[in-house]
Structure 1
């Protein structure tokens, strides 16, 4: 869930880039602010999901673990490897 403030800042960044009016220093400041707002939005979303899970009666530790796995980029292949069962 992205807040309206973040959406508006991203839109103004997009317009500044495509109109050619953005200088590198200004663009850097805007990018940092967008990144900060996105991190804040992600934190609020995680808190909301944890609260929803607690209300539903799900174990909070399990919910937080699931949210952490969702937020983690899936870059390593270790989690994808499937260990075959030994045929006995």
Structure 2
């Protein structure tokens, strides 16, 4: 699973990155987590509000920092 955190480095973007790392650790899944700060790449996903969470090339969340439990649900969608 490839996870990308889209954001320019703001506090919320960093919080989403940390929460995502925690959610992956708690889920027991293996995932590659990458921060994407390049505005052109972010725009390429059509994201208008950061931070955003992209899983395997699909934007799952945008404009908020969800709880670790919510992130675990998003990461496990369709993976059972």
**Structure that is richer in strand per residue:** 2
TM-score by length of 1: 0.29
TM-score by length of 2: 0.32
**Structure that is richer in helix per residue:** 1
Of the two structures, which has the highest relative contact order with CA contacts closer than 8 Å and spacing of 6 or more?
2
